[in-house]
Amino acid sequence: MARDNATSLKRLERELGHEFSDRSLIIRALTHASALPSARSATENYERLEFLGDRVLGLAVADMVFQTYPKAEEGELARRLNHLVKRETCAEVAAEMGLGEMMVIGESEAQSGGRSKVALLADMCESVLGALYRDAGWEAARRFIDNHWRGRMLAWSGNQRDAKTTLQEWVQGKGLATPNYKIAERSGPDHAPLFTVTVAVDGMDNGSGTGPSKRLAEQAAAEEVLRREGVWSESGK
């Protein structure tokens, strides 16, 4: 770990509000495969904890959104959830915690800017959450998520309507056929797939979107068309 290991861990524990009884968990959560011998790289890096933390974050944020917006329909809840658990949001939280400088990464990864890569910061944010959950339980993880995500939830002013529904209503209002969605690509490991979906609308360029599920990718594709056509502004208002 960069600089003083013990000092870095203590600072991170203060950020998390928890002192680890099993510090190997948090060390593993911060360890990239590039820092390990090949024989250990598959199981002793952050990825298994990232898999767990992704689920912990999703459930905690879904419950927070569900309780905060009792009148919101499913589509609005999904948009709020997607905004809060997306890669960029997780990377912001990771940066706030200083995870970039705490990462245990190989020299080549460090030289290529690994400590500031959005994807890696987001993954390690989730792996740290997974470690926190394993060592301290659900309530500690939920409390940390509430502290770092609730403000973002309340501050978000993006479009709250369901993008697919909005696009369908808009094209029907113009006398056009229902938008046609197709999966263009599926990538990533089984535990964290990434879908790319295109949407075709008569007389317009296709829209494209990606997401961790087919439905979220469809929403992103519909949103691209809505923004491009000026139906939704970039500010979301």
Binding residues: 50, 123, 126
In 3D, which of 86, 88, 68 has the Cα closest to residue 219?
Answer: 86
Helix ranges (DSSP H) in 30-117:
38-41, 47-68, 74-85, 87-97, 99-102, 107-111
Cα–Cα distance measured from residue 133 to residue 221, given in angstroms and rounded to the nearest whole number: 34
Under 8 Å between Cβ of 117 and 43: no
In 3D, which of 73, 96, 92 has the Cα closest to residue 84?
Answer: 92
Joined tokens for residue 111: 């030289």
Which three-class secondary structure state does DSSP give residue 110?
Answer: helix
State which amino acid sits at residue 41. Answer: S
Question: Hey, which bits of the chain come out as E strands?
Answer: 180-187, 194-200, 207-211
Q: Which residues are annotated as a binding site for Mg(2+)?
A: 50, 123, 126
Which whole-number Å values give the CA distances from 90 to 16, 42, 151, 232, in the listed order?
A: 15, 23, 14, 25
Q: Which residues are catalytic?
A: 54, 126
In 3D, which of 54, 125, 86 has the Cα closest to residue 216?
Answer: 86
